[in-house]
Amino acid sequence: MRAESLEERIGAVRRFNRFYTRQIGVLREGLLQSPYSLTEARIIYELAQSEKLTVTGLCRELGLDPGYVSRIVVRLEQRGVLDKTRSDKDGRQRLMSLTAEGRSAFALLDRRSRDEIAEKLGELSEEDQKLLLKGMQLVESVLRKGNGFKFSEPFVLRPPEPGDMGWIAHRHGVLYAQEYGWDERFEALVARIVSDFITECKPARERCWIAEMNGEIVGSVFVVQQSESIAKLRLLLVEPGARGLGLGGRLVQEAIRFARRKGYSKLTLWTNSVLVAARHIYEKAGFVLVAQEEHDSFGHKLIGQTFELIL
């Protein structure tokens, strides 16, 4: 494809995006002349379609960050739109549902949306309506074949679920064997780390994040307590297909924010010099190399490196 042709096509897609977002009014402060933003209205819609939803389930459905969704959920709860109840099956989970006021809000949004679309279609001839619907079906069909736009399908960070720890050990073993030739002793080390986390985790001081994209697990990271004042970042992993999207940096930043909130004064990590991409993420986040030493591990002669970040 010629460079100018590519630029013309990019310009055409961006022009259509600007045109369509203006047409459907998503740039307004309140969607459909309501007090709710587009994201708030979409959350109300999803809750109206399901009797009970967790924040994690909602994030998966919408492809949104849990922190962002949680803030919106708090606002909607304060407005009396939704309520939370503890799950009978899992006491750790809080299930969300619409209140009577929330159901009224949904009914209003649903009616206004239907009326607005009916009015717009009524302005078009029968032939133009068919052309519009056919064109929309075509756009949806073509885009469904791909993976979505790079920055419009964000990864989701969530707490670990049953089976995730096994995935972490498995994928570390597979990827490090493929990319660095490390033997099964590395997978055994990872298995011990995740086993210790499961059996000895201090929820108030330690955390694990699992990253998902399009319903698939694509990464992980841990923060564990090393002492009362020092935390340790461990097992940062990003799947090859999710690299280049900023996921590694996002996982590290989430770990840093958690360590600061918990009052740690320092965050440390141990890595190896051959892990160039990971070291770049750490250095970009402000970690400083404080020590290194040669060691013979996983079937290779390596240079282990210790990094620290003063919080």
CA distances (Å), origin 266, targets 128, 257, 286:
63, 12, 12
* Closest by CA position to 237, among listed 295, 291, 194, 298: 194
* pLDDT attached to residue 263: 93
Chain region(s) in the chain for CATH 3.40.630.30: 156-310
Q: 0.75 exceeded by the pTM?
A: no
Q: Write a three-state SS string for 74-137.
A: HHHHHCCCEEEEECCCCCCCEEEEECHHHHHHHHHHHHHHHHHHHHHHHCCCHHHHHHHHHHHH
* Closest by CA position to 282, among listed 258, 257, 251, 241: 251
Q: pLDDT per residue over 234-277, tens digit each?
A: 999 999 988 877 889 989 999 999 999 999 999 999 999 999 99
Chain region(s) in the chain for CATH 1.10.10.10: 3-144
* pLDDT attached to residue 244: 79
* pLDDT attached to residue 193: 95
* pLDDT attached to residue 21: 81
List the chain residues with pLDDT less than 50: 153
* pLDDT attached to residue 22: 80
* pLDDT attached to residue 154: 59
Q: What is the gyration radius of the CA atoms in the chain, in angstroms? A: 24
Q: Which CATH class name applies to 156-310?
A: alpha beta
Cβ neighbours, 10 Å, residue 102: 22
Q: Which CATH class name applies to 3-144?
A: mainly alpha
According to DSSP, the residues that pair with 262 across neighbouring strands are: none
Q: Tokens 């660095």 correspond to what residue? A: 180
With a CB cutoff of 8 Å and minimum separation 6, the contacts of 32 are: 25, 41, 109, 112, 113, 116
The number of angstroms, rounded, from the C-alpha of 43 to the middle of its chain's C-alpha atoms is 16
CA angle, residues 135, 139, 145, in degrees to nearest 5: 145
